[in-house]
Structure 1
Amino acid sequence: MQDTAWFLFLGLLLTVMALAGSVVKRVPLSAAMFYLVAGYAIGPAGLGLLGLELPPGARVVERVAEVAVIVSLFTAGLKLRVPPGDRRWLLPVRLAFLSMAVTVGLIALVGVYLLGLPLGAAVLLGAVLAPTDPVLAADVQVTNAWDRDHVRFGLTGEAGLNDGTAFPFVFLGLGLLGLHDLGAGGWRWWAVDLVWGLAAGLGTGWALGGGAGRLVLYLRRGHQEAVGRDNFLTLGLIALSYGLADVLGGYGFLSVFAAGVALRRVEMQESGGASREELRERRREVAEDHLATDPDTAPAHLARQVLRFNEQVERIGEVAVVLVLGSLLSLSALAPAGWWFAPLVFLAVRPVAVWIGLVGSGVTGHQLRLIGWFGVRGAGSVYYLAYALTHGLPEPLASEISRLTLTTVAVSVVVHGISVTPLMNLYGRTAPPQTGK
């Protein structure tokens, strides 16, 4: 009977969201808010269809969030059609590294002095909540590969990078709690967890994304082979990038993001720097059956098909991870301190960290405030929480950090979901014109 109930529930939920999708986009609500309520309804506090609890169910939660994040990271990388050496990358890089570190530090201070946590647990809490989300933040990310807006480009690039740059701080927190080897004087953390982890992750993804893209285009242009399996290519490249980076000791999240960026870079190079209008004109001149193999259209067609498929998978991942989040939100899972802690994170910690990270960047005050506000927390935080729980985080720290994280993420889903439509519509009417191809 429970299996039947699952079919009925998922069928009803997905059908309703498909029919109401266009309406949701016009009102100050987000799809994630509906999934959150639905998840709560099927959780232990509701119908009991999904009985996950933390920490016992941490391994399952970790896997669900992990898959959702890596799919979204690849999508984010594919959307950023900007050369690696372009100055526009400075904005997301500063957010993902400098603002990330400041966020961890500020939350750690709050954890020690206001929540009474040990230093290691406070650093871990900061690392769990510092990364912004590539899964739930789609409404504030770039709308297409040619979107050059500072706010959307910065938030997309930040979400793509900081789900990986958070890992060294997670290890630092676990190490200070005695759950991870930091090395004498912290040498292992600096050399392995920080430098090697970041470099190996980015390098692996860049090599695989670029190599796969060039190989597929060579086979299609020269031999009319490797056609019609773009969905397999997408999933295979994501899995290879993530798995190989892990084998090499790098961060798979960074690897998957870099693979997406590299694949888009191949498209840019092979398209000869053509503008969006020029690529559209090329498509009109080539028969539909030959778009994948024609030398002039093959690069853009490959990137377009991979991105289109990945965006569909990403939506499924969003449903899964928010349903799980909602199911975890019983009254016992909410932290009493969360009701002042979450506003502090969103209204003070995030804006201060963004301001410090972007001093002298040239963004306008309005853009700075929007970037500071839309530090959406979601699947990345859920993943890191579950990761810490599966690596021996002891009680009562496990319960306290779980409640604070789940409360903060749930508040983010609601307040950012309500504010995204009106604020981004207002920004769209006042944003400076975009430049570049």
Structure 2
Amino acid sequence: MRLLHLGYALVGVLAVLLAFWSSAIRRAPVSEPLLALVLGVLAGPVFGLIDLRHHAASGLMLEAARILLAISLMAVALRFPLSDYRSVIRQVGVLLTVAMVGMAVVTAGLAWLILGVPLALAVLLGACLTPTDPVLASSIVSGGPAERQLPGRLRQVISGESGANDGLAFVFVVLALIPAAHTASGQAREAVWGVLGAVLVGLVVGYAAGRAVCAAEAREDVEEGSLLIFAVVLAVAALGVARLLHTDAILAVFVTGLVYNGVIGDESRASEQELDDALTRYLVLPLFFLLGVEVPWRDWLDLGWPGGAFAVAVLLLRRFPVVLALRPALGMPRRDVVFLGWFGPIGVSALFYLTYSREEGARDWRLWAAGSLVVVVSTIAHGVTATLGRRWYAARSSTLRG
């Protein structure tokens, strides 16, 4: 327990420092998750201050990732008016169908060719690493610098994709677990119910919550600050209901947020940006700190050079060529497609599905070793390039206007 308390203290100190220097951090070529990851590495493998048991760390990471994803997806669903999301439904639809399948196939192929793992494990790795992470994506598309440097339409596409594909990845992972973990073929029915049940839960919970807020506002019983807290509580509530019904809880939360967004309308959305900022700056810190503490150095060394080659190949080939090839279907300018192709970070959602797969019986050590290495490399690469990428986009836009 003392080890956890030390972790609380370190993360708390980091959060305080980030609060003091928040503007400078936003302008610097680093991200909050990256700083938390570095702190975890220093506290764990480097100085040996914290050494959690593997089983305990796995359980903590699974539940922390689940809750963080829920709150993150609620923030994504409320980031823009629902009408703005409708305007990019074509682009998001292409990314959620053709691009998502393409990314899963490319990643699985890279795992099979470079790591030499069995095809079933390669397919599971591809499924776990496919979704674009909404938490890391939030640090790219939210906040003052993002609003000034990126057009709203591009931010909406990234937000909509990162919100929806985390839940849809559940289908990929559940089906991939059948051969990889030797689970029953009934998993296919679980995947179907996962999507249908999640949509049903989201419709019911989101509509009920939205009507309740509208009724409270009509009586002038609700304040802006309480709406912020309510959004967080609503995410956790939808997560719990979906879990009890054994459906896709991650997708259920996102659908709940979208329905709630549509019911309450624009006038009730004043505090959603605060939720975005709180999420990307503070709520993400404990999970990436825990990842830093538990990075499997010995397993990475056992992977050898193929492990590093796989991580770099996934970063370069998993998304960018697929999105670039889909430019005609996306109907977006080249600079938008280039930005969209690079900024598809792999983070919390991948950690969730990797630990979920392990809990469901996928015991091959290479799953967590290779997957966690990709997450760390993505966190570093996208954290360092987020500010530089936004500046490049803004400069490119100014040049074209000139």
TM-score, length basis structure 2: 0.88
Q: 1:264 to 1:2 in 2, by over 3 A?
A: closer
1:338 is matched by which residue type in structure 2? G
| 1:3 CA drift (Å) | 7.0
Could you say if the C-alpha distance between residues 353 and 202 of structure 1 is closer, same or farther in structure 2, counting changes exceeding 3 Å?
Answer: farther
Equivalent in the alignment of 1:285: none
Cα distance change of structure 1 residues 153 and 362 upon mapping to structure 2, 3 Å threshold = same
Q: CA deviation at 1:37?
A: 0.8
Q: CA, structure 1 residues 3+70, in 2 after alignment: closer, same or farther (shift >3 Å)?
A: closer
| Shift of residue 168, structure 1, vs aligned partner | 1.0
C-alpha spacing 1:117/1:4, structure 2 compared with 1 (3 Å): closer
Deviation, structure 1 residue 154: 1.4
Task: Please give the per-residue CA displacement for 1:86-114, whole angstroms capped at 9, x wherever unaligned.
Answer: 34122122212321111111122222233
| 1:272-311: CA deviation from partner (whole Å, max 9, x where unpaired) | xxxxxxxxxxxxxxxxxxxxxxxxxxxx2x3223553464
In 1, distance between residues paired with 2:68 and 2:115? 31
Q: Aligned partners of 1:370, 1:52: CA distance in 2, in Å?
A: 40
1:401 equivalent to 2:363? Answer: no
The one-letter amino acid of 1:366's match is R
User: What residue number does 1:10 align with?
Assistant: 11
> 1:233 is matched with which residue?
230
User: 1:323 and 2:289 equivalent?
Assistant: yes
Aligned to 1:182: 185
* Counterpart residue number, 1:111: 111
The residue that corresponds to 2:156 in the other structure is 153
Partner Cα separation in structure 2 for residue 220 and residue 212 of structure 1: 12
Secondary structure in 2 matching 1:43: helix
Do the aligned partners of 2:346 and 2:379 also contact (CA within 8 Å) in 1? yes
Q: Cα deviations across residues 26-45 of structure 1 (Å, max 9, x unaligned)?
A: 12121222111101112244
Partner of 1:366: 335
Give SS of 1:225's match.
coil
Q: Name whichever structure is richer in helix by fraction.
A: 2
One-letter amino acid matched to 2:342: W
Write out per-residue CA displacement over residues 300-334 of structure 1, whole angstroms, 9 at most, x where no aligned residue. Answer: 2x322355346425543210111011112252142
Aligned-pair CA distance for 1:209: 1.7
Q: Report the AA paired with residue 230 of structure 1.
A: L
Map Cα deviations across residues 339-385 of structure 1 (whole Å, 9 max, x no partner): 11122112122112223455422111211111111110111111111
Cα contact 2:79–2:272 (8 A) shared by 1: no
Are the counterparts in 1 of residues 239 and 250 from structure 2 also a CA contact under 8 Å?
A: yes
Pairwise CA RMSD: 2.7
Q: d(CA) in 2 for partners of 1:173 and 1:376?
A: 22
Of residues 318, 330, 334, the one that matches 1:349 is 318
Partner of 2:82: 82
**What is the TM-score when the length of structure 1 is the normalising length?**
0.81
Residues 110 and 313, structure 2, Cα contact 8 Å, conserved in 1: no
CA contact (8 A) 1:44 1:330 kept: no
Separation in structure 2 between the aligned mates of residue 389 and residue 155 of structure 1, nearest angstrom: 29
How far the C-alpha of 1:421 sits from its partner, in A, is 0.6
2:36 alignment partner in structure 1:
35
Identity of aligned residues (%): 25
Q: Mark the CA change 1:156 to 1:84 in structure 2 (over 3 Å): closer, same or farther.
A: closer
Q: 1:100·1:353 contact (CA, 8 Å) conserved in 2?
A: no
Any gaps of 5 or more consecutive residues in structure 2? none
How far did 1:160 drift? 0.2
The change in CA–CA distance for 1:88 and 1:368 in structure 2 (over 3 A counts) is same
**Secondary structure of 1:57's aligned partner:** helix
Question: Match for residue 344 of structure 2?
Answer: 375
